[in-house]
């Protein structure tokens, strides 16, 4: 038996999936979710094998949801119209359904999903989607992190700086620190470049949070943030700062 979860904010859209699934008695819909928050919670609770995921949803988009999952099931995306999402799908080879879709197109997606289910899930999918979104130069406008069972949406203007920590990044915002599995490279290219500067191999800093710069030695500087935090600035970082701030 394949455990499936449907995540879509429109009931009628969920109904279609349920109706089309009648032809697949070995797939059991264990639950339905109407938003991303619920989706993340339910995925961790019921550990489905397969999810049907809408991209545009209240609070959390389908993509943001994926970033918050510990284990990623096999996913069939659906979207009505979103050029960025389509680009991401095409480049990451994830299967997606364009609403409205036919039963035969749906069955095709199901058979592809079955192949991936035996192949061990969509572990690499998240990274691939991230990569393709990076390639699409889609600017981020907020960050979503998980704190235990709580989901926190951090608006970019509340981010002080971001620090690399092994496979993770630590996002420092309003005196708190949130860990998220992202690469510095992805963040550097996806954060608005007039607002964030990579000042060091391990640091991306929000320009608005910088209080002053102090020289440490001949070639190295340190940025003192309004919060009091001190961040090393490399030579390359110093010249990028110079460029953005025009000094």
Partner 1 sequence: MKHPLAGKAIVFYISAWAVVIAAHAVLLYYHYQLPLSISLADAIVSNAFLAGIGLSYWYVVQYVSPESQGISGVIFSHVLGAAISALLVVYGASAVLSGFFSGDENYQILVDVSFIWRIIINAFFLALIIMVYYLLRYNNNLRLKEQEELQLQGMLRHSELEMLKFQINPHFIFNSLNSVSSLTITDPDKARDMVIKLSDFLRSSLGTQSPEKHSLKDELAQMQLYLDIERVRFGDRLTSVHEIDPACLGMALPNMILQPIYENAIKYGIYEQLEGVEIKTTCKCEDGNLKISVSNNYDSEGAPQKGKGIGLKNVRNRLELTYGTMGLMTIEKEKTIFTVHLLIPQSPEK
The verdict on 135 binding partner 1 (CB under 8 A) reads no
The verdict on 81 binding partner 1 (CB under 8 A) reads yes
Work out the number of other CB atoms within 10 angstroms of the CB of residue 159: 23
Alpha-carbon span 172 to 227, nearest angstrom: 10
Contact with partner 1 (CB under 8 A): which of 155, 165, 227, 239? 155
DSSP 71-124: S--EEEEEESS-HHHHHHHHHHT--EEESS--HHHHHHHHHHHHHHHHHT--TT
Q: Which is nearer to partner 1, 56 or 240 (CB)?
A: 56
Min separation Cβ 99 and partner 1, Å: 4
Contact with partner 1 (CB under 8 A): which of 69, 156, 207, 244? 156
Listed residue (33, 141, 41, 135) closest to 89, CA to CA: 135
Total residues contacting partner 1 (rule CB under 8 A)? 29
Work out the number of other CB atoms within 10 angstroms of the CB of residue 176: 13
Work out the number of other CB atoms within 10 angstroms of the CB of residue 85: 23
Work out the number of other CB atoms within 10 angstroms of the CB of residue 61: 19
Alpha-carbon span 127 to 208, nearest angstrom: 30
The verdict on 100 binding partner 1 (CB under 8 A) reads yes
Alpha-carbon span 222 to 232, nearest angstrom: 5
The verdict on 15 binding partner 1 (CB under 8 A) reads yes
Min separation Cβ 103 and partner 1, Å: 10
Min separation Cβ 32 and partner 1, Å: 13
Q: Mark the segment that binds partner 1 (CB under 8 A) among 15-23, 117-125, 165-173, 229-237.
A: 15-23
Angle, CA 95 vertex, CA 40 and CA 42 arms, to 5°: 15
Q: Which is nearer to partner 1, 19 or 236 (CB)?
A: 19
The verdict on 195 binding partner 1 (CB under 8 A) reads no
The verdict on 35 binding partner 1 (CB under 8 A) reads yes
The verdict on 70 binding partner 1 (CB under 8 A) reads no
Per CB under 8 A, residues contacting partner 1 are: 9-13, 15-16, 19, 35, 37, 56-59, 61, 80-82, 98-101, 139, 141-142, 153-156
């Amino acid at each position: 038996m394949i455990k499936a979860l449907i995540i879509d904010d429109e009931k009628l859209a969920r109904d279609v999936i349920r109706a089309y699934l009648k032809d697949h008695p070995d797939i059991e819909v264990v639950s339905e979710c109407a938003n991303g928050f619920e989706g993340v919670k339910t995925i961790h609770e019921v550990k489905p094998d397969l999810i049907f995921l809408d991209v545009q949803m209240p609070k959390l988009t389908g993509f943001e949801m994926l970033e918050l999952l510990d284990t990623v099931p096999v996913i069939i995306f659906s979207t009505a119209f979103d050029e960025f999402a389509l680009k991401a799908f095409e480049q990451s080879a994830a299967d997606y359904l364009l609403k409205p879709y036919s039963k035969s197109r749906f069955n095709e997606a199901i058979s592809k999903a079955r192949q991936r289910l035996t192949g061990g899930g969509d572990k690499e999918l998240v990274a691939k989607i991230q990569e393709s979104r990076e390639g699409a130069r889609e600017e981020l406008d907020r960050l979503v992190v998980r704190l235990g069972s709580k989901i926190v949406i951090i608006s970019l203007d509340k981010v002080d700086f971001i620090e690399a920590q092994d496979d993770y990044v630590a996002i420092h915002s309003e005196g708190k620190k949130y860990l998220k599995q992202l690469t510095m490279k992805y963040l550097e290219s996806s954060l608005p470049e007039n607002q964030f500067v990579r000042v060091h191999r391990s640091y991306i800093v929000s320009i608005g949070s910088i209080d002053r710069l102090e020289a440490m030695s001949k070639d190295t500087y340190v940025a003192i943030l309004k919060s009091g935090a001190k961040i090393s600035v490399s030579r390359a970082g110093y010249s990028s700062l110079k460029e953005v701030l025009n000094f």
